[in-house]
Amino acid sequence: MRVLPAVIAVLLTALPAMAQNLDIDSLAGVYKHKFQNGSVDGDKYVSEDIMEIVKLAPDRAYLRLALNFFNGHSCSFWGVVHVAGDSLVHRSNGRSGEGCELSLRSRDGKLILDDKDGHCRAYGCGARGTFTGTSFPLTSRRDIRYLDRLKASSQFKEALDEDAPAAR
């Protein structure tokens, strides 16, 4: 029965390496979510959250978010995310100078955002906005048909420039 502990030890050692095999190709695309929104004045309107993931390399992708919240508040983000275990993670000093760590993980058929310590929210969101807990169903994924325009955007170029030292 000494074989069983050895097998368990090998499996536990292999799990982190297996988790590193996050397949960006299966996540790349545009995700959209339309929903009923409103304002404190009682106005009702339809908003749409958008998330774009563009594969840059097997271990890196560009992520852009345009999220909407009650009373016209919003969150926006663009940057390069790196594979870290079973997540895509962006780490930077943030535009405000504070450390920003935004992660994206697949769980229960959804892609779910997490803003560690809320520092990304500090520079990317209005008063009622947040990244943490925002999710997109995996089934809402579509191909990005405007990829050339996206790659020509100032946001895409800024994200690549900001990530360049990390990619070396």
Q: What is the pLDDT along the chain (168 residues), one digit of tens a residue?
A: 454 444 344 344 444 444 456 899 999 999 999 999 999 999 999 999 999 999 999 999 999 999 999 888 999 999 999 999 999 999 987 555 568 899 999 999 999 999 998 889 988 898 889 999 999 999 999 999 999 999 999 999 999 998 886 554
The backbone torsions φ and ψ at residue 46, rounded to the nearest 5 degrees and listed phi first, read -100, 130
Q: Which tokens is 6 given? A: 């050895």
110: β partners: 107, 137
User: Can you tell me the distance from the alpha carbon of 120 to that of 111, in angstroms, rounded to the nearest whole number?
Assistant: 18
**Domain total in the chain:** 1
Residue 16 falls within a domain, yes or no? no
Q: Look up the domain containing 146 and give its range.
A: 22-167
Residue 111 falls within a domain, yes or no? yes
